[in-house]
A and B are shown apart, each in its own frame.
Chain A
């Protein structure tokens, strides 16, 4: 994370990445299994039309599609659009065309990429054929793309026995990159942290002190405004001990995740409690921030490594019970 400080608000890159595991069900399993064997199947609709990729349910009768038939891996471009600037994970990483290709033996075109160098090299009515991926795994990407077929003959699997489908699932990697931006109010808070300061803000209507400050007071709907510097100590209102591992977790378990109500604030925030055995942590315990070494400070709440007990007597329940 390399936040820039030039703009009005703080920005940082944020990634949302997961390899989704999809189960396919009967129709798609057969379709994907056939692709793995370099064959394309279409679904037969109740009206007799053959559609590729096969829909799972008939658009008119709504019944499950049960009959799949092989179609050719040659076809005709029905419409297309040029892709001058491919985005990540598209079939080709150089300019290409997305096209609707009507495979011989089918009645509805399928969407896929066509590998040509320029818009002038593709046209509606052009004959194209499947270029199979080097390794086929049972995925729509087993068709690497289509390519101009010239005069090559239609091939395809007029009658193949595919047996029980061997592909029943697929992995879908979804990798998205975002520019995350903080609100102006949060930006003040995070920039304060880079100087070792904790800035809250007061709501101009209800006069409650929020930390972090808010783009809208959740009670009054107006931004918090007047800046209040708060001390780095307060009362632990309530907590839990996290003892469950999960993907993306960055803190070793078990750890205490607690609401810390800084002195002078009207709302608690979540942070980590250390320097004490989890079994000894108590509601009402007085805590103080343990900061990272100054040279490691950034515009992040993790400048405070954790909170630890101050050793003061616990706060009386009545002093914080309305914060639960």
Chain B
């Protein structure tokens, strides 16, 4: 495998973007920041890959106008996944591994506030036997949360402490939407919303975009003093049906984590749009109490669809760059109730 590192990251997150679902307004300055961070221009970039969704925007080919942000004449080598940009990053990493290119920019974007997100996401379900009931995202997560609560795998206090820690840590994250010093008691004082979930147990609907730069070997060192070297990059999927998999463990996360190698990780950014899902992820990855979890505040404090996953990777990379982590793990999820999961490990040292 080639040594490839994350060398640039920029993001925008907001409650509601008062602008076009193409998100060009966000992508143009994000690309500008990436060029500034790396000292590169468009011509330094060998490959481009984005993640977004037509159903979020409400129209076919919604990703097409986003390529305008790059400026694609002369043409570029470019691809797109209908997935969170964390998987676009995976495609870019694979492209670099083939040796065809040495650098890539990945971006994701989405305006979740354009429709009723929890209803739109019901369109992901089995179109014959589940989608016609329009089971919303929150309900599916609630069923998952209750199963763990009633089996004694976690309790309300544990969920509340996840929320409290996330919101408190997010106080210093300029892009977080729901934030501020919060105690578990503050959380438990909130009334139930979608029993067993309180509103703060559920990620806020968020708009946003982000971009990330990958580079191999010497190109990485050229762009970044302390690159975040990718030492493991794995993803797995499970059946979509809630009755065809364990809801209270995440076998796909566990297997992606094991393949990536979690030993020695001192920090983890986990993409958990619901508080109890962080508990599932931590236990599936076998992360000890000494591992710092979501210093950014995580998805509970801002969850822009199609970029929230890659944001976890960006937040972890920032900690490596800053020297505040030597080995970090980041995770992204997709699909209802943690159906599909991706794990990446980042290291201050090349291939260990």
Contacts and interface: CB of A to CB of B under 8 A. Distances in A.
Direct A–B contact in the complex, CB atoms closer than 8 angstroms: yes
Interface of A: 7-9, 14, 16, 20, 22, 24, 28, 31-32, 51, 53, 55, 59, 78-84, 87-91, 98-100, 108-113, 119, 124, 139-141, 170, 172, 174, 176-184, 186, 214-223
Nearest to A28: B128
12 contacts: A55-B241, A79-B143, A80-B146, A81-B143, A109-B243, A140-B129, A176-B55, A181-B19, A216-B24, A216-B71, A219-B72, A221-B70
Given A16-B58, A216-B68, A140 B25 contact: no
A52 to B, nearest CB: 8
A140 B119 contact: no
Interface residues of B, number: 66
Interface in B111-167: 111, 113-116, 118-120, 123, 126-136, 138-147, 150
Interface string B185-212: 0000000111111000000000000000
A111 B135 contact: yes
Contacts of A20: 127
A24 B132 CA distance: 14
A219 B73 contact: yes
A71 B188 CA distance: 41
B194 A82 contact: yes
B264 interface: no
Contacts of B192: 82, 119
B196 A81 contact: yes
B27 interface: yes
B73 A87 contact: no
Q: Which of A79, A109, A119, A172 has the most CB of B within 10 A?
A: A79
A177 B243 CA distance: 30
Given A14-B58, A181-B18, A214-B68, A112 B133 contact: yes
A140 B196 CA distance: 26
B22 interface: yes
Contacts of A113: 133
A99 B196 CA distance: 12
Contacts of B19: 8-9, 181, 183-184
Contact of B25 (A91, A170, A215): A215
Nearest to A145: B133
Contacts, number: 184
Contacts of A139: 132
Contacts of A53: 126, 128-130
Nearest to A56: B128
Given A59-B239, A177-B115, A181-B18, A89 B146 contact: no
B244 interface: yes
B237 to A, nearest CB: 13
A59 B71 contact: no
B263 interface: no
Contact of B20 (A174, A183, A218): A183
Nearest to A120: B195
B77 interface: no
B18 A174 contact: no
A-B CB proximity, top 9 nearest:
A81-B142, A221-B71, A215-B24, A82-B195, A183-B20, A53-B129, A108-B243, A178-B58, A98-B139
A184 to B, nearest CB: 7
Which applies to chain A's interface (DSSP): helix, strand, loop or mixed?
A: mixed
A178 B62 CA distance: 14
Nearest to A25: B128
B139 to A, nearest CB: 4
B128 A84 contact: no
Nearest to B24: A215
B127 A140 contact: no
Contact of B193 (A16, A84, A98): A84
A100 B146 CA distance: 11
Contacts of B126: 53
B259 interface: no
Contacts of B70: 221
A178 B72 CA distance: 29
A81 B244 contact: no
Nearest to B60: A16
A87 B134 contact: yes
A124 B146 contact: yes
Contacts of A100: 143, 147, 242-243
A80 B193 CA distance: 14
A82 B192 CA distance: 9
Given A22-B127, A183-B24, 6 more contacts: A51-B244, A87-B136, A140-B130, A216-B68, A221-B31, A222-B71
B243 A178 contact: no
A60 to B, nearest CB: 11
A224 B90 CA distance: 33
A84 B198 CA distance: 11
A182 B192 CA distance: 37
A219 to B, nearest CB: 5
Nearest to B244: A59
B108 interface: no
A109 B242 CA distance: 8
B21 interface: yes
A260 B114 CA distance: 32
Contact of A87 (B17, B111, B119, B144): B119
A218 B68 contact: yes
Q: Which of B113, B119, B144 has the most CB of A within 10 A?
A: B119
B147 A87 contact: no
Contact of B28 (A28, A111, A180, A222): A222
Contacts of B115: 176-179
A218 B71 contact: yes
B18 A82 contact: no
Q: Which of B19, B28, B131 has the most CB of A within 10 A?
A: B19
A217 B67 CA distance: 10
Interface string B53-93: 00101110000000111111100000000000000000000
